[in-house]
């Protein structure tokens, strides 16, 4: 089969739209990323490694990726729960709940950060009771996780919600009539259906968490080796005019994020395997002949 770029199609404008897409992605994504790698290449391999694998940088990676992962996992569970409640039940404040889910999207991150810090500070409304329980939230990795959980909430809810809304009630009825209880219906029928969307939401929440800056720096306390996130480390390097150092750490982060998202995507491909319908199969009308099925026993 010969491959030609120009294929006959009833959809016009392929050349124009592809050209624009390439141009747009180049300007917005590819060129800045390339510049990042270019700047890093000023460093020798040894210098690069020294910067990227310094104890302070490693501690920041652990915090950033660890807290993002925990926050995204919390959101995965709670987000599915929130989406479930908002979609499945009719109650008075439903619309209100539905709209406050978007708040973390809309709120300037710095405002969110300051509010959360005030709340979770040792003398804050939520911080004080937690202190009495012996948990220090603000200025610890726990605080970072709280901020990232707040930021990531809408992602899982908004990806799972439409899938739940489209969910066929008959599937649950079928499961019930086949003898499945509520729990089995949920784990065997509903969960597999919403899983791909939930994983997408999880990946988005995680990605957002890794790159988050504004809401975290207030509540984190920013102690090097302890509560310093990678984004802050980069900003610090920039303020010291260590551009190469900043980009080196950024590149390291980019690579880790990329590997992580790739893994999630593969996971998703695997979990969403049997989705493609082939319309041609609809034309296959089977001839139904019962004879081999019951009828003559000697045929067996």
Residues that bind other proteins in the complex, under the rule CB under 8 A: 168, 170-171, 173-181, 184, 188-189, 192-193, 274-278, 281-290, 292-294
C-alpha 288/C-alpha 280 separation (Å) is 19
Cβ nearer to other proteins, comparing 41 with 193: 193
C-alpha 264/C-alpha 200 separation (Å) is 8
Cβ nearer to other proteins, comparing 16 with 284: 284
Residue 108 Cβ vs other proteins, minimum distance, rounded to whole Å: 40
C-alpha 175/C-alpha 159 separation (Å) is 25
Cβ nearer to other proteins, comparing 163 with 210: 163
Cβ nearer to other proteins, comparing 16 with 285: 285
Closest CA to 57 of 205, 240, 251: 251
Q: What residue has token string 């390339």?
A: 34
Q: What residue has token string 């999630």?
A: 264
Residue 275 Cβ vs other proteins, minimum distance, rounded to whole Å: 7
Name 225's Cβ contacts closer than 8 Å, sequence gap at least 6.
55, 56, 59
Residue 204 Cβ vs other proteins, minimum distance, rounded to whole Å: 22
Residue 183 Cβ vs other proteins, minimum distance, rounded to whole Å: 10
Cβ nearer to other proteins, comparing 282 with 298: 282
Closest CA to 199 of 120, 285, 263, 278: 263
Residue 286 Cβ vs other proteins, minimum distance, rounded to whole Å: 6
C-alpha 103/C-alpha 158 separation (Å) is 12
């Amino acid at each position: 089969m010969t491959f030609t770029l120009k294929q006959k199609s009833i959809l016009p404008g392929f050349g124009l739209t592809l050209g624009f897409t390439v141009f747009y992605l180049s300007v917005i994504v590819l060129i800045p990323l390339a510049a990042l790698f270019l700047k890093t290449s000023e460093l020798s391999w040894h210098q690069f490694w020294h910067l990227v694998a310094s104890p302070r940088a490693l501690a920041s990676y652990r915090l950033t990726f660890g807290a993002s992962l925990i926050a995204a996992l919390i959101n995965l569970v709670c987000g599915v729960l929130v989406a479930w409640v908002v979609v499945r039940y009719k109650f008075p404040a439903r619309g209100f709940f539905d709209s406050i889910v978007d708040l973390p999207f809309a709120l300037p991150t710095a405002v969110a950060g300051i509010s959360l810090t005030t709340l979770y500070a040792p003398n804050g409304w939520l911080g004080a009771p937690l202190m009495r329980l012996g948990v220090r939230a603000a200025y610890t990795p726990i605080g970072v996780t709280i901020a990232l959980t707040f930021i990531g909430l809408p992602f899982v809810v908004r990806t799972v919600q439409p899938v739940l809304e489209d969910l066929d009630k008959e599937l649950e009825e079928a499961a019930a009539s086949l003898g499945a209880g509520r729990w089995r219906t949920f784990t065997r029928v509903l969960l597999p259906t919403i899983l791909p969307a939930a994983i997408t939401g999880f990946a988005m929440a995680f990605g957002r968490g890794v790159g988050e800056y504004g809401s975290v720096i207030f509540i984190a306390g920013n102690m090097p080796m302890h509560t310093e996130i990678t984004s802050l480390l980069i900003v610090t390097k920039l303020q010291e005019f260590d551009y190469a150092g900043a980009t080196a750490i950024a590149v390291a982060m980019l690579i880790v994020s990329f590997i992580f998202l790739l893994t999630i995507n593969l996971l998703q491909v695997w979990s969403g395997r049997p989705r493609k319908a082939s319309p041609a199969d609809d034309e296959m009308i089977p001839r139904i002949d019962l004879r081999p099925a019951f009828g003559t026993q000697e045929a067996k």
